Amino acid sequence: MMKIHLPLLALFALAACDSDETLRGHGAADKEWRLVELQDAAFAATATLTFPEKGVVRGQGPCNGFSTTNTVPYPWFDAGPILATRRACPDLAAESAYFTLLEAATLSEVLGDTLTLSDDSGVLLTFKAAD
């Protein structure tokens, strides 16, 4: 009969509770993601996305910095509400489209240096890891 050591079992249970099951924990951490396509069209402005810590999403739109959360397990994605600074710039329409699609995304996928965010209709946003 095998003896189970309760302190060791408790340690394994605690480690399992602390694991990051979000997109960050499945390949998106420690990278800056640059938006390259918005609904299959090239994105001419500059926008980024990062996952600096568990449950936190930060980035830069064409005009404003922003933050939001994502706490659902991978491959699901649920960002919002987005909290952003309020600076105006010539790319404000592009930023609005980016933030709208970021909040609409429900699925995520990381394949090497590519991150895609999608919904039931298809790919909404495509990012590449910055060099």
CA 58, 104, 61, 64 torsion-angle sign = negative
Radius of gyration of the chain measured on its C-alpha atoms: 18
The pLDDT tens digits of the residues spanning 76-120 come to 999 989 999 999 999 999 999 999 999 999 999 999 999 999 999
pTM score of the predicted model: 0.85
What range defines the domain where residue 35 resides? Answer: 20-129
For residue 117, being part of any structural domain is answered with: yes
Q: What is the CATH number of the domain that holds 47?
A: 2.40.128.270
**Mean pLDDT (the chain, rounded):** 89
